[in-house]
């Protein structure tokens, strides 16, 4: 089992996801002029590609938390996964079009070949059954991925939706097989500190991608005081997202894992929460790009999906994180959600810059309420209601 913090190799691996998340943001940003059904389908296509990438990253984080990442075989697995992830990243802008096949092949190489390598490396160890489970389920969804890539364009989205649903369902159920049973990730013995590090690092990577968007868009646009103001408000919004995430709950994520009797159970829940957090940051970053380009342009209701939808999703995920760490719900985040919801109809008729400013003001209010609530009080100790109990040491696949 992994015994320490995240390694430099894993940080190197994350560089591929810096590229990947940038490409996801670009696809989202390309929807800025779409409305109605075109916006919905375009968002759904990009979301599917993001979820495929997330499954690759998440599986890798669990592998390096479950096994010693300094071992040569695990390092080879991580480097190989990085190369495949980079292929997915560079093909992602046209992955639903003419580059569907290399995207799908790179994805399947990770999902099928990687667990086979791990299983061979484990030889006679009982834990080899888990990667074999992954192979069987990956082979079950592989025909759908390949049919979607090679078949007619209009069938690609539904086929890939079913294929990805199979992969996520298998992950959720523990890859059940007849006569073998299941291998629930919540029962795995993992290095909780390591997995907490990985979740925090991925959030910072997403936040860094939003900063990259701010800088690139502003440097490439003609200078004007309005764009400069949008640039400043966008940066302040990212800083507030960082503050809200790490204040108390995000900062104590590692401690919560250390205190958990079954860190695998907490890790499974935290992984879904951080999926929402990373997605929310990417969606919010698209709003930055739209506003910096057209700070006082014509109101476009579709832009609210990014301007307001991203921050709202972030607050929903942050409420989940608060519960996972402390076993309670944050009232300040609920206030922020209600405020954004109430402001949305009015923002649909206002300039984009007004919408971004209101979002920043609401997030600032949430951060202020968080600080006031704990002013002068001792630092809280994590009291997670998730991950209680002890690992099932009798489970040979734990």
Inter-CA distances, 199 with 32, 158, 284, Å: 29, 30, 19
Q: Exposed/middle/buried for 60, CB within 10 Å: 0-12, 13-18, 19+? A: buried
Specify the pLDDT at position 127. 67
Specify the pLDDT at position 393. 38
Percent of the chain with pLDDT over 70: 93
Candidates 3.40.50, 1.20.1270, 1.10.4160, 1.20.1410; correct CATH number of 192-373? Answer: 1.20.1410
Specify the pLDDT at position 44. 93
Close Cβ partners of 103 (under 8 Å, ≥ 6 residues apart): 49, 87, 88, 91, 92, 95, 149
Query: Residues in the chain with pLDDT < 70?
Result: 1-5, 124-127, 221, 376, 378-379, 387-398
Tell me how many degrees the CA angle 258-259-262 measures, rounded to the nearest 5: 85
Domain boundaries, the chain: 8-183, 192-373
Inter-CA distances, 175 with 134, 138, 166, 167, 346, Å: 7, 10, 10, 9, 47
Instruction: Tell me the pLDDT tens digit for each residue of 365-398.
Output: 999 998 888 776 766 787 788 866 554 433 445 5
Instruction: Tell me the pLDDT tens digit for each residue of 276-327.
Output: 999 999 999 999 999 998 898 887 878 899 999 999 999 999 999 999 998 8
Specify the pLDDT at position 190. 78
Specify the pLDDT at position 102. 96
Specify the pLDDT at position 357. 95
CB count within 10 Å of CB 383 equals: 12
The H or E element containing residue 309 is helix 309-326
The phi and psi torsions of 169 (rounded to 5 degrees) equal -65, -40
Specify the pLDDT at position 374. 73
CB 300 within 8 A of CB 218: no
Specify the pLDDT at position 220. 79
Specify the pLDDT at position 125. 63
């Amino acid at each position: 089992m992994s015994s320490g913090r995240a390694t430099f190799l894993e940080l190197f691996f994350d560089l591929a996801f810096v590229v990947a998340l940038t490409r996801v943001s670009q696809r989202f940003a390309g929807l800025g002029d779409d409305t109605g059904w075109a916006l919905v389908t375009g968002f759904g296509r990009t979301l599917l590609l993001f979820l495929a990438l997330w499954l690759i990253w998440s599986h890798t984080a669990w592998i390096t938390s479950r096994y010693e990442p300094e071992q040569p075989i695990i390092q080879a697995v991580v480097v190989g996964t990085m190369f495949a992830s980079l292929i997915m990243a560079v093909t992602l802008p046209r992955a639903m079009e003419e580059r569907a096949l290399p995207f799908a092949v790179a994805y399947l190489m990770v999902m099928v070949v990687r667990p086979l390598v791990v299983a061979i490396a484990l030889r006679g160890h009982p834990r080899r059954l888990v990667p074999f489970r992954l192979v069987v389920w990956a082979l079950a969804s592989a025909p759908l991925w390949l049919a979607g890539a090679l078949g007619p364009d209009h069938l690609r989205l539904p086929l890939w939706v079913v294929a990805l649903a199979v992969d996520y369902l298998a992950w959720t159920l523990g890859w059940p097989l007849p006569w073998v049973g299941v291998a629930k990730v919540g029962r795995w013995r993992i290095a909780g500190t390591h997995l907490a590090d990985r979740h925090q690092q991925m959030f910072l990577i997403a936040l860094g991608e939003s900063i990259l968007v701010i800088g690139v868009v502003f440097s490439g646009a003609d200078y004007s005081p309005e764009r400069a103001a949008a640039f400043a408000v966008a940066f302040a919004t990212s800083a507030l997202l960082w503050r809200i995430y790490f204040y108390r709950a995000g900062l104590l994520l590692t401690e919560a894992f250390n205190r958990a009797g079954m860190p695998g159970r907490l890790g499974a829940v935290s992984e879904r929460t951080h999926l929402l957090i990373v997605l929310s940051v990417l969606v919010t970053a698209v709003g930055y790009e739209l506003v910096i380009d057209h700070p006082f342009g014509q109101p476009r209701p579709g832009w609210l999906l990014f301007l307001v939808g991203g921050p709202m999703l972030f607050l929903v995920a942050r409420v989940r994180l608060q519960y996972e760490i402390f076993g309670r719900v944050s009232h300040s985040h609920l206030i922020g959600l209600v405020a954004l919801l109430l402001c949305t109809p009015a923002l649909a008729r206002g300039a984009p810059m007004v919408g971004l400013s209101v979002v920043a003001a609401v997030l600032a209010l949430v951060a202020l309420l968080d600080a006031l609530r704990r002013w002068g009080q001792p630092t809280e100790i994590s009291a997670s209601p998730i991950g209680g109990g002890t690992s099932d040491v009798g489970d040979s696949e734990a």
